[in-house]
Amino acid sequence: MVTAYSMARYESKAFPSRGISGVDIHKADRPVRAEMGGLAVLVAMAVASGVFLGLDFSNDGSPVLFAAVASTVAFTGLVGVADDVLEISQKVKPFLIVVAAVPLMVYLSQRAFIFIPLLGDVHLGLLYPLVAVPLAITTSANFSNLLAGFNGLEAGCAAISIGTMSFLSDLYGHPTVAVLGAILTSAYLGFLMLNWYPAKIFPGDSGTLMSGAALAAMGLAAGLEFEAIVLSIPAAMDFALKMMHRNPFKQRHELGNTTVRPDGTLDPAPYPALVHAFMKVSPIRERELVMSVLATELLFAITATAIAVIFL
Amino acid sequence: MIRQAAVVFLALLPLAISIPAAYLSWLAFPSVEALHMVVTGLVWVFTFAVGTQLFWKGVELLAQKR
């Protein structure tokens, strides 16, 4: 948490002058803020993971699992950093994330079953490491990249979902995965201190892609795939709502962004999206909107926990 | 505040619709396991999309009553 906060603090001061910045379009005065805050989370994860692996003397192969999950998360974070700097094409990005998933695909190459509550163990054979693992990582990473754009939203959702997955991993007997989850949750909370309204730094694609990849990678590593899906539902709903438009993913170019009224409340852009749902039903300010989305994520975290406890 | 809470709980709708639908399809079409999984997955995705549409209809109804 301390490393992520310190790094984010440095970035918030150094990055705008170097052009690594974006405009906070949901403020009346449209201030320029540092981008690529996910780099702070990535550095904090690398430092804490190095310390953990250096101090871990267990001989049960669990450090290999830790390294496989951490590598997948870190490589996805690096894809995000490259995207923040070079703006990688939307068509190329999913393939780069599939490449980032290779360490976990290799580690899970012997696994062939997925446990689904009520259905039991479902045999997927080679489809599990070759299709399910990369598909889960790239889908989750891209979903979390879509539900974004408001101060504290991405880091808050990441802290809730990864924190829940960390708790459930420990409950299901995967303490190494739980440790990585705790490291990431603390890193996102440290970053959130500067990303909360009014934000001094944005997570960028590095922060959002990494949180989705972390959730999926932890779910796969701990055999909690269904719970990871439940935790991804707010982001999946946002994706499904955006797909309802006749021209998916081009709505922002065609119809514009959410705007700020003189009284500080938000006026939603005229197309379906999860954040727009909250803006449509009553006048709402940015901070209240983020609290509502975080409450939704929390509701799904409670649901995922209840399912995991029932089927323990 | 109440309207915001209503949207939060309305967000459970896609999950509440898609899980029973996927479970029923699993029970209804026993076949080769991998194919079975694909059919169930497709049913889940389709009913999740329907649930999301219903969520949006609910949001529009709430917005009209403002």
Give the ipTM of the model, two decimals please: 0.87
Mean pLDDT of A27-44: 86
> Strand pairing partners for A201?
A34
pLDDT at A36: 85
Contact criterion met (CB < 8 Å) for A127 and B15: no
Residue A283 CB contacts under 8 Å (≥ 6 apart), including other chains: A261, A263, A265
Nearest alpha-carbon partner for A184 in A299, A47, A78: A47
The phi-psi region of residue B50 (left if phi > 0; otherwise alpha if psi is between -120 and 50; otherwise beta) is: alpha
Per-residue confidence (pLDDT) for residue A59, from 0 to 100: 65
- Which residue on chain B is closest to A293 by alpha carbon? B8
Query: What mean pLDDT is predicted for residues A290-295?
Result: 94
Beta strands in A75-200 (DSSP E): 113-116, 120-123
Q: A178-181, long-range: CB within 8 Å, 24+ apart, which pairs?
A: A179/A52, A179/A66, A180/A45, A180/A49, A180/A66, A180/A69, A180/A70, A180/A73, A180/A214, A180/A218, A181/A214, A181/A218
The answer on pLDDT for A268 being more than 70 is yes
State the smallest CA–CA distance between residue A70 and chain B in angstroms. 28
Contact A281 B37 (CB under 8 A): no
Mean of the per-residue pLDDT values of chain A: 88
Is A231 a residue whose pLDDT tops 90?
yes
CB-CB under 8 Å, B4 with A281: yes
Quick check: B15 contacting A, CB < 8 Å? yes
Where does the pLDDT of residue A208 fall: very low under 50, low under 70, confident under 90, or very high at 90 and above?
A: very high
Rounded Cα distance, A86 and A91, in Å: 14
Task: Report which of residues A13 and A255 the model is more confident about.
Answer: A13
What's phi and psi for A256, nearest 5 deg? 85, -175
Total beta-carbon pairs less than 8 A apart between chain A and chain B: 78
pLDDT at position A279 is 92
Highest mean pLDDT out of A143-147, A154-158, A241-245: A154-158
Nearest by Cα to A226 from A310, A292, A154: A310
Give the Å distances, CA to CA, from A59 to A170, A172, A180.
18, 20, 18
For the ranges A54-68, A172-186, A206-220, the lowest mean pLDDT is seen at: A54-68
Token pair listed for A190: 């440290």
**Predicted pLDDT at A190:** 93
Residue-level pLDDT at B34: 66
Coil, strand or helix at A279:
helix
Those of residues 103-142 in A touching chain B at CB distance below 8 A are: 118-119, 122-125, 127
Label residue B59 by pLDDT band (50, 70, 90): very high
Measured CA to CA, the distance from residue A192 to residue A209 in angstroms comes to: 16
With CB atoms and an 8 Å threshold, state whether A281 touches B7.
yes
Q: Is residue B14 very low, low, confident or very high in pLDDT (cuts 50, 70, 90)?
A: very high
Which range has the worst mean pLDDT, A115-129, A167-181, A200-214, B52-66?
A115-129
Task: Average the pLDDT over A115-140 and give the result.
Answer: 87
pLDDT at A192 over 80: yes
Closest CA to A265 of A37, A28, A53: A28
Residue with tokens 């999926």: A216
The whole-angstrom separation of Cα A177 and Cα A168 is 10
Residue pair A206/A81 in contact (Cβ under 8 Å)? The answer is yes
B6-10, long-range: CB < 8 A, 24+ apart? B6/A281, B6/B62, B7/A277, B7/A278, B7/A281, B7/A292, B7/A296, B7/B59, B7/B62, B8/A292, B8/A295, B8/A296, B8/A299, B9/A299, B10/B55, B10/B58, B10/B59
| Averaged pLDDT for residues A163-191 | 93
Q: Using a pLDDT cut of 70, give the percent of chain B over it.
A: 91
pLDDT band at B30 (very low <50, low <70, confident <90, very high): low
The residues, ordered by sequence, that sit 6+ positions from A261 with a Cβ below 8 Å of its Cβ are A267, A283
Tokens of A280: 């449509």
A 223-242 residues with CB < 8 A to B: 230, 233-234, 236-237, 240-241
Residue A242 contacts residue A74 (beta carbons within 8 Å)? no
Strands (E), chain A: 21-23, 32-34, 113-116, 120-123, 259-260, 266-267
Residue-level pLDDT at A215: 95
How does residue A212 score in pLDDT terms, banded at 50, 70 and 90? very high
CA atoms within 13 A on the CB side of A21: 18
CA separation for the pair A288, A310 (Å, rounded): 33
Q: What's the one-letter identity of residue A186?
A: S
Q: CB–CB of B34 and A233 under 8 A? A: no
Q: What is the distance between the alpha carbons of residues B62 and A115, in angstroms, rounded to a whole number?
A: 38
Can you give the pLDDT at residue A166?
95
- Please report which confidence band the pLDDT of residue B65 belongs to, taking 50, 70 and 90 as the band edges: confident
Three-state secondary-structure class, residue A122: strand
Query: How confident is the model at residue A233, as a pLDDT?
Result: 94
